[in-house]
Copies of this chain bind each other. A is one copy, B any other.
Amino acid sequence: MELRSDSCGIEVALTVIGGKWKPLVLFHLNHGPRRFGELKRLVTGISEKVLIQQLRELADDGVILRRDYQTVPPKVDYEMTPFGYSLAQALQPLCAWGDENRLQIAELQKEAQSTAT
């Protein structure tokens, strides 16, 4: 996504959390550091490639920290940075909104889908 100087900061935020799985990853890392394998299990349905991809992007954006233990067998874990936590904070209300309206939204989108037929 292209960053523009105009308009609302939401777009900026979306360049960071816009990936399909990123909110999930953030959600899980918000509970503490996680190893790669853990995340793979926690974020059910994601492929390894995409998980790595999203983790890299999050790390590049300074939201999470990748720690490589340089051991054999490999051990790597990911942890939120303070910057990441500030993002998580900003995300709280939206998260709450989503939780509150989950059912209604699911309902509406189901209708829209059937109408679209």
Contact = CB atoms under 8 A, between A and B. Distances in A.
B91 A15 contact: no
How many chain A residues sit at the interface, stated as a range, is: 35 or more
A32 interface: no
Interface in A52-102: 57, 60-62, 83, 86-87, 89-102
Contact of A3 (B26, B106, B115): B106
Interface string A9-46: 11111111110100110110000000000000000000
A96 B9 contact: yes
Contacts of A108: 60-62
B91 A11 contact: no
Contacts of A92: 93
